[in-house]
Structure 1
């Protein structure tokens, strides 16, 4: 029998401010997306177990495309396995809007096709039921 928590998906969106650019070309470090994954994992734990839980580990992280200041990122976590106290989550971060400085200093556009920038698999742990 499948656990009803399996398959739960939570999504957050966030604008990437220029203050987070650390590299030429307004590039943002990968840790920014991993922090978003932590936030979305916290909401998953709250929804599934009524507790913020703790992030235990990543078993895989793939940086697939650059993140730039001015992007709007969408981070999604999906519960793929439910253990006694652990939950395995698949993560995906996508750029859904991107700045277009070639068209003007504040120009931007919503992308017709989001750009997958980071994928990951991680494990969170929650307190025992009833604790």
Structure 2
């Protein structure tokens, strides 16, 4: 596959709905970012190997800042290692827009700089080439 090169990346953006609030203060649980990482890993595997792949596990996860309802969040997966059947990936989730309820119930702003909220490293497994 032409995308099977270290450094290849895929990014998704998504609005975080209020239905995903899990804690007080409109806080969304950390698993939300991990779900996004699974989605971008799937697309990355389709590009690199023509298969959705299977997520084998995380080597590291860091929750750096909160994800809130009303955020627009982007998640990126980057190919960092190419094995025979495994792929090492790094992940980063960033908030690019955030609600500003002090200005009104539907007010929001684009952040001047994206806010990193979650980082991780993981491994996916893909079928052998030619399968």
> Cα deviation per residue 1:17-42 (whole Å; 9 max; x = unaligned)?
00000111000000011000000000
Deviation at 1:90, TM superposition (A): 0.5
* Number of residue equivalences: 129
Q: Which secondary structure state, in structure 2, belongs to the residue aligned with residue 14 of structure 1?
A: strand
Q: TM-score, normalised by structure 1?
A: 0.97
How far apart in 2 are the matches of 1:25 and 1:103?
17
Aligned counterpart, 2:110:
110
Aligned counterpart, 2:94:
94
How far apart in 2 are the matches of 1:48 and 1:85?
12
How far apart in 2 are the matches of 1:123 and 1:5?
15
How far apart in 2 are the matches of 1:78 and 1:130?
24
Aligned counterpart, 1:23:
23
Deviation at 1:120, TM superposition (A): 0.2
Q: Which secondary structure state, in structure 2, belongs to the residue aligned with residue 48 of structure 1?
A: helix
Q: Could you list the runs of 4 or more consecutive aligned residues of structure 1 that deviate by over 4 angstroms after TM superposition?
A: none
Aligned counterpart, 2:47:
47
How far apart in 2 are the matches of 1:5 and 1:125?
16
Deviation at 1:6, TM superposition (A): 1.0
> Cα deviation per residue 1:32-79 (whole Å; 9 max; x = unaligned)?
110000000000100000000000010000000000000000000100
How far apart in 2 are the matches of 1:9 and 1:95?
18
How far apart in 2 are the matches of 1:105 and 1:69?
12
How far apart in 2 are the matches of 1:40 and 1:21?
22
Deviation at 1:4, TM superposition (A): 4.8
* Structure 2 portions without partners, runs of 5+: none
Aligned counterpart, 1:11:
11
* Structure 1 portions without partners, runs of 5+: none
Q: TM-score, normalised by structure 2?
A: 0.97
Aligned counterpart, 2:122:
122
Aligned counterpart, 2:67:
67
